[in-house]
Amino acid sequence: MQQLTLQLSPPPAPTFDSFFPARNAAALAQLRALVDGEEQFVYVWGAPGSGKTHLLRSFVSATAARGRPARYIAPGEHIDSAPGESVIACDAVHQLDMVGQLALFDLYNRFKSGGGALLTAGDRPPLELPLREDLRTRMGAGVVLRIEPLSDEEKKAALSSHAESRGISLAPDLLEYILERAVRDMGTQMAVIDSLDRLSLERKRPITMPLVREVLQLIEQSARPA
């Protein structure tokens, strides 16, 4: 049990290729283009769980792979740019306090005058953000992309595709059970598939409902405070 729990963390690093686009194919294409430096300021927004963090982390990884220093700033982290960093992805800007807003405003102005790319994300359109007016204006002045959350059918297709990429085929009832019982974010649900694959190979037994229940129980236990 402990061994499987350790295998659940950390999850694979997000990439554009592992993002299931569904209705977000156009937005994904624009973010890929951003890696090529075609835009300087981009804001993505959507409901929690729509995949914004996945896209921001994927953008940072893809940009860094091109040789441009890049960094992802998680919610609550201090906003700045280290010497040499020319690309920043800042998540959850709707949560910024006044200090964070001033720091992001300064970062925007420095990148605009000195070169650099800034990708930001929030939970609502730019003009509805609870930020100072001059910062809201800047969020809306660049490219604005809405990220649509996946429907249950699209999530099922994404999980099925991920399973097939690992060489396994999950029965429809197992996919339904994972969607209903696992935490409702795609990262955790993908981790369930990965863990099922590993445990099935270790025990040399097929993926059945009891095995799915065991993996979900282990994930739930690992998420509880020690």
Q: What is the pLDDT of residues 53-109, one digit of tens each?
A: 999 999 999 999 999 889 999 999 999 877 778 899 999 999 999 999 999 999 999
Cα–Cα distances in Å, from 125 out to 44, 59, 218?
8, 20, 38
- Taking the C-alpha atoms of residue 145 and residue 141, their distance in angstroms, rounded to an integer, is 12
Number of neighbours of residue 193 by Cβ within 10 angstroms: 26
17 occurs within a structural domain: no
pLDDT at 98: 96
- Residue 145 phi/psi, 5-degree rounding, is -125, 130
Grouping H, G, I as helix, E, B as strand and the rest as coil, residue 90 is: strand
pLDDT for residue 142 is more than 80: yes
pLDDT at 124: 97
Q: Please indicate, yes or no, whether residues 106 and 157 belong to a single structural domain of this protein.
A: no
Q: Please indicate, yes or no, whether residues 121 and 28 belong to a single structural domain of this protein.
A: yes
pLDDT for residue 5 is more than 70: no
- Domain extent, residue 171, equals 2-10+150-223
For residue 32, what are the contacts with CB-CB under 8 A and spacing of at least 6?
Answer: 16, 62
pLDDT at 222: 67
Residue ending a domain, among 124, 146, 168, is 146
Q: What is the pLDDT of residues 170-224, one digit of tens each?
A: 889 998 888 888 766 677 788 788 888 888 888 888 899 999 998 888 777 766 6
Q: Please indicate, yes or no, whether residues 115 and 169 belong to a single structural domain of this protein.
A: no
Q: Please indicate, yes or no, whether residues 104 and 130 belong to a single structural domain of this protein.
A: yes
Cα–Cα distances in Å, from 212 out to 38, 42, 207?
44, 40, 7
For the question of whether the overall pTM of this predicted structure is more than 0.75, the answer is yes
CATH number of the domain enclosing 75: 3.40.50.300
Exposed, middle or buried by CB within 10 Å (0-12, 13-18, 19+), for 154? middle
User: 9 falls in which pLDDT band (50, 70, 90)?
Assistant: very low
Residue ending a domain, among 105, 124, 146, is 146
Q: Please indicate, yes or no, whether residues 191 and 120 belong to a single structural domain of this protein.
A: no
Residue ending a domain, among 146, 181, 205, is 146
15 occurs within a structural domain: no
Q: Please indicate, yes or no, whether residues 131 and 174 belong to a single structural domain of this protein.
A: no
16 occurs within a structural domain: no
Q: Are strands 117-122 and 143-146 parallel, antiparallel or unpaired?
A: unpaired
Q: Please indicate, yes or no, whether residues 105 and 168 belong to a single structural domain of this protein.
A: no
Structurally, the chain folds into a number of domains equal to: 2
For residue 106, what are the contacts with CB-CB under 8 A and spacing of at least 6?
Answer: none
- Residue 83 phi/psi, 5-degree rounding, is -55, 130
